[in-house]
Every structure is written in structure tokens, then in C-alpha cells.
Amino acid sequence: MQYHHAIKAATALLLAFCSSFVPGQTAIAAVGLYQPGVKTPNGIGKYYMGRELAHYMSHRGAPWLERNERENEERPDLLMKALDLKPGMHVADIGCGSGYYSRRIAEAVGTNGVVYGVDIQKEMLAILHRNMAANNLTNYLAVLGTATDPMLPVAKLDLALFVDVYHEFDHPFEMMQKICAALKPGGRIVLVEYRMEDPRVPIKLLHKMTEAQVKKEMKAQPLRHVQTVTDLPWQHVIIFEKLGAQTPESPNN
């Protein structure tokens, strides 16, 4: 019971904090946004808006990102269609890993476009370099981010893509705040997450998210929900657009 009261109190504090947030201002220390709690398998014992944050995948798991089965299990062709990329776009592949999607994005945006492959593990970026070179792709930048900052330029991105990675952020509020700052006005954020609503999706529980939870957490940012694409076999494709000078919607609305 004490744990549930702590989560309730933390949520109330978060709502008050988010209602006073103004896009573009200096990041405010996220005191009280996160709460310690029961550590479950694959989690880190840290909670945000009632959700335990998952542990990120090590670079040693990179071969799983390149598995042949991924074509049928995840239908990257359908995701790329949903992204609606155009030549010349600047796109960030957040948590790019081995570059499975960075390669596809680089081809879609062409030589006048740029894909920023962002990861917090330098070993993953080494794999990214190797795979991009193997496909003769040069229109990319490998970016070593941190747990709180993707290290991206301000107001440069047309789109930021997160494929099965957002749930692993251990500072999701700060990361999303920085990523929103990197977007141009009207730029898009696309979160791809395994559907927790569907028990048939054979993925560990903490590595899945409901659409409702994603929307709840994005309300703390200067974003509006645009569309949720539902035709992938296992995943949501949840698309948001950066607001202009408006304040983010309060999570209690």
C-alpha cells in the first residue's frame, strides 16, 4: 500500500510540473518525476507515470536486430511506408543499434538528406559504421548520446524514429524534451512499440507498451497525437507532431 501511495503522490507532482512546462525553456531538474519501486525481471526498479523502466539491450544482442525473421515479424516495409519519408529530410534513428532502420532511412532520404544514428553504446555505433559502409551509404552521422541527451542539433530534424527503444530510456522525460528541441516546428516523432494489449505478442512484458501509456507520457511534451498505425503484426506505430508556441497538454486531460 505504501508503494501505491508513493506512485499516486509522484503522479500528482508530475501533473503539476507538466502544467507549468513551457517548450523551449531550459530543462528543469526532474525532481520527483521518477520513483523507486519493486524491481522486476528486465526492469531497473525505477518508475515513471506508473511504468517500470526496462533495462536497455546490450550491444551483444545486436545479431538479434539483424535476424532474418524480422522481415515477417515486424514488416519493416509497412513501417517505412508509414514514415512517409521524402528526399532531403533530416531524420534521427534514436537507439539505432546495428542500423537496421538507419540503412533504410538513408536510402529513402537520398544524398541530400541525413540520418542521425543515435546510440548510447559506442560498440553499437561501430556496428552501425560497418553496416552502413557495407551498403555504400554515406549520408549519415553516428552520434554518441547519453542517458539524458541524444546530442542532436536544435531545430534540425524533420522526424525522430524510436523502434522498440523508448521503453528502455531511464530518463524518458529529459530525453524526449531534448528530442523535441531537436525537431523543427511541425516535425514528427514516431514511436514503435510492441503491443502490450496483445498477449500473443511474444515479447517480455517490460519491453511492450500500451498505446494509452505512450500517449499519457507524451502529454508531458510539446506534442500532439496525429495517428496510430495498426497494420504491423506485433507493434504500434504511434505518430506525434511537434507543436509550435503552444504548451503541452496536461496529462490529466
pTM: 0.84
Write down the domain spans for the chain: 70-242
* Of 67 and 146, more confident: 146
Which residues 6+ apart lie within 8 Å of 199 measured at CB? none
Burial 98-133 (b: 16+ CB within 10 A, else e): bbbbbbbbbebbeeebbbbbbbbbeebbebbeebbe
Would you place residue 58 in the very low, low, confident or very high pLDDT band (cuts 50, 70, 90)? confident
- Report whether pLDDT(3) > 70: no
Burial class of residue 68 in the structure, from the number of CB atoms within 10 Å of its CB (0-12 exposed, 13-18 middle, 19+ buried) = exposed
Q: Which CATH architecture has domain 70-242?
A: 3-Layer(aba) Sandwich (3.40)
CA distance 178 to 197: 29
Within 10 angstroms of residue 192's Cβ, the number of other Cβ atoms is 24
CB 139 within 8 A of CB 110: yes
